[in-house]
Structure formats: structure tokens, C-alpha cells
Amino acid sequence: RGRCFDRGVADALAAAAGDASSGIVASSITKDASRAPPPPFNTVDLLKTASKALRLSPAMTMKHAEHLYLDGYLSYPRTETNKFPDSMDIPKALREQTGDERWGAYVSDLLATNAWRRPKKGVDAGDHPPI
């Protein structure tokens, strides 16, 4: 049948399956896809995303951002810029993260396979680097 977003149809299909404990996948299709990376955050985009994805208030978001800034994990969190300067050495910034036990292996893989890309969009407001 393909994708189904109709609750009534989904319920009917579930009822037809009854108490079956297994099923057979008749066919599947996979394809490679890639998207350009999103631009980095400016303050407004950080607040919007934290509110929508994490349900954090602006005050709580900025509190956490300040702590991450003071601990050296992100740049100054009050900025209107959402574009990295052309002079920024992104591979160097990534290499600095390879030793972290939580995401170091992922970053190492990004570097080894050259799977990272510099975000192309964004605005340099001239105040601080993006978050």
C-alpha cells in the first residue's frame, strides 16, 4: 500500500493483521540522499529551535547557552551572525573534537570520509561568530 497517513486506514490494516506475530516485507526501496547543512544558529534561531524541539523557555535556553559558552563548548550565544567567516578553519575545529568520548568517533568519521561541508547560506552581521 505504501505510506499511510489516514488513521482509519491504518486501524483497518492493523485489524486485518490480527494477532500475527510476524510479517513479510515483499519489497523495499532505498536511495542515497544528501542535504546541505543548515546554517549555524544566531540567537533568535537558537531560541526558536530550543523552544520547538526541547520546549525550553528563552530564559532557560540562554541559561544553558551561557553555561556551554563558559565551559568552552560554544561561541558567545548573543549574536545576529549565522555564517562562519571564510577564514575559519572548520577542519581544525572538527579535529579539536575528535578526542571527546561522546562524539569523537563520529567527528573522526566525518573528517576521514570528507563528509562535512561548510554551510553556504547565512548572514555575517559583524558582531560575534555564529553559535
CA–CA separation, 43 vs 28, rounded Å? Answer: 42
Our answer to whether residue 106 is catalytic in this structure is no
Check 69, 73, 76, 106 and give the catalytic one. 76
Is residue 117 within 8 A of residue 36, CB to CB? The reply is yes
Report which of 128, 36, 35 is spatially closest to residue 84, judged by C-alpha positions: 128
Q: Which residues are catalytic?
A: 76
